[in-house]
Amino acid sequence: MAGTGTKIRQWLMTGVSYMIPFVAAGGILIALAFLLAKAATGGETHMAWDQELMHVSNTDGAVTGFNLLELGNWAYIIMFIGKALFALFVPVLAAYIAYAIADRPGLAPGFVAGALASGLDGNPLGTGTGFLGAILGGLLAGFLALWISRWKVASWIRPLIPVVIIPLLASIVTGFVMVLVLKAPVGALVTGLTNWLNGLSGGSMIVLGIILGLMMAFDMGGPVNKVAYTFAATGLTAVAATATEAPQWAVMAIVMAAGMTPPLGIALATALRPKLFSESEIENGKAAWLLGASFISEGAIPFAAADPIRVIPSIMIGSGLTGALVAMFNNQLPAPHGGIFVVPLMGAGALTYLLAIAIGTVVTGLLVIVSKGLGNK
C-alpha cells in the first residue's frame, strides 16, 4: 500500500498532467501572437493585446471588420485565445488534484477552488493565491468530496450524492475556506514572493537562476521540475499588459533554457560517444534533439532512469550553469512555452540566450560522457 508521501505526489502529479496541455497550447498561442505582432508593427514585440496598435475594431467584445491580410488582427485574436487557455491552468490544476482524491465528485469543488485561487474572469472574491492556493484548495476539495461520499444515507438519496450533494456542499465549504481562511496568509505569501522577485538583480538573480536550473533538471517533469515551472508560468500573469521588461520574464527565460539542456545534452552525448549507450538509448538520443528544442525535459528521463547516479548530477550541473548564464545575460522571455521556437521574441537577447543553452548543452553532454566513461572502466 502506498505511503502518504507517495499518495500526495500522485495527487499533485495528476493535477499537473491535466494542467500541462493548457499551459503548452496557451503558451504557444501567446508566443505566436507576439511573433505576429512583432511582424505587424516592425518590432513592438509585447503589444499583441493592444487593439489600436493591432488595427482591430473591438466593440462590446465583438471583433468587427476582421481583415485576413492584417497580421495585427490575427495577433490580437490569437493572443486572447491563448490567454483564455492559459487562464484555465490554475483551475484545472486544483480540479484534477481533487479528482485524483475523490474521482468525478471532486471536480466541481476543485474547479471552484482553482477559480477563486486565480481570480478567474475577474471574480471579486478571487483570492490571488495562485498555484499555491490551487494546490491547497484542490486537496481540501478532494478530501471534502471523499468524506461526503462516505456518508451513510438512505438508498433513495444515494444517487444524488455524487451529482448534487457533493458538488453543492463541498463547493460551498471549499469556497468559504478559500476566501475567509486561506486568502490572507497564502495571498500574503504570494505577494511577498512576487515582491522578492521584483527586488532581485545582479548576483541574487544569478543565485535564483542556479536554483531554478537545478530544480528543472532534478526530476525532469516530476514534482520539483513542475514547481519551478509553475512558479515561472504563474509569474507571467502578474506582469502588466503594458510592460516591455519584467523580472518574471527573466525567470521564465531561466526555467525554459534550463529545462531544454537535459535532453539536448543527452542527445549530444549519444552523438559524440555512441559506444557508451545501448541501441535503444541511441535512438532515444536522436528524438531528444527535438524534445529538448521544444522544451520537453522528459526527453532525458529514459537515460536518468537507466543510470541515475551518473546522469542526474551531470544534467543538474548543466542546467544550473544554464540558469546562471541566462540570469547573468538578463534574458527576457514573455512566452510560457515553445522552446527554441519562441527565441525570436527575445530580439537582441536571442544570441546570448542561445549561447547560454549551447554552453549548458555542451557541459551536460561532456559530463555525461566523462561520468559514464569512468563508470565503465
DSSP assignments along 254-296, one per residue: HHHHHHHHHHHHHHHHHHH-GGGS-HHHHHHHHHHHHHHHTT-
Predicted confidence at residue 175, as pLDDT, reads: 92
Residues 239 and 328 in one domain: yes
Predicted confidence at residue 219, as pLDDT, reads: 75
- Of 135, 168, 198, which residue constitutes the final position of a domain? 198
Tell me the three cell numbers of residue 209.
Answer: 537562476
Residues 75 and 130 in one domain: yes
Predicted confidence at residue 240, as pLDDT, reads: 47
Nearest in space to 259 (alpha carbons), one of 310, 284, 234, 222: 222
Backbone angles phi, psi at 58, to 5 degrees: -125, 100
Which DSSP string do the residues of 118-187 spell out, in sequence order? HTGGG-TT----HHHHHHHHHHHHHHHHHHHHT----TTTTTHIIIIIHHHHHHHHHHHHIIIIIHHHHH
* Pairing state between β 62-64 and 57-59: antiparallel
Residues 294 and 333 in one domain: yes
Predicted confidence at residue 268, as pLDDT, reads: 94
| Regions of the chain with pLDDT less than 70 | 1-2, 43-55, 59-62, 120-128, 193-194, 196-203, 221-223, 236-246, 375-377
Predicted confidence at residue 199, as pLDDT, reads: 66
Residues 108 and 237 in one domain: no
CA atoms of 208 and 35, how far apart (whole Å) = 28
Residues 17 and 166 in one domain: yes
Helix (H, G, I), strand (E, B) or coil at 298: helix
Residues 170 and 237 in one domain: no
Predicted confidence at residue 237, as pLDDT, reads: 60
Identity of the residue numbered 197: L
Predicted confidence at residue 249, as pLDDT, reads: 84
CA atoms of 264 and 45, how far apart (whole Å) = 28
- Of 198, 223, 242, which residue constitutes the final position of a domain? 198
Residues 127 and 274 in one domain: no
Residues 193 and 248 in one domain: no
CA atoms of 354 and 212, how far apart (whole Å) = 18
CA atoms of 148 and 162, how far apart (whole Å) = 9
- Of 140, 174, 198, which residue constitutes the final position of a domain? 198
* Structure letter (DSSP) for residue 65: S
Residues 334 and 207 in one domain: yes
Predicted confidence at residue 284, as pLDDT, reads: 84
CA atoms of 281 and 276, how far apart (whole Å) = 10
In the block, which residue shows the cell 533554457?
257
* Structure letter (DSSP) for residue 307: S
**Residue 121 exposed, middle or buried by CB count within 10 Å (0-12, 13-18, 19+):** exposed
Distances (CA, A) of 172 to 104, 110, 151: 17, 11, 17
Residues 288 and 155 in one domain: no
Identity of the residue numbered 271: A
Would the pTM of this model clear 0.85, i.e. be above it? no
CA atoms of 141 and 42, how far apart (whole Å) = 48
Residues 92 and 29 in one domain: yes
For helices 89-102 and 4-41, angle between their N-to-C axes, nearest 10 degrees = 160
pLDDT digits (tens, 9 = 90+) for 61-78: 667 777 787 888 888 888
Give me the domain span that covers residue 282.
203-375
CA atoms of 360 and 352, how far apart (whole Å) = 12
Residues 319 and 356 in one domain: yes
Number of domains in the chain: 2
Q: Burial code of 181-200, b = ≥16 C-beta within 10 A, e = fewer?
A: ebbeebbeebeeebeebeeb
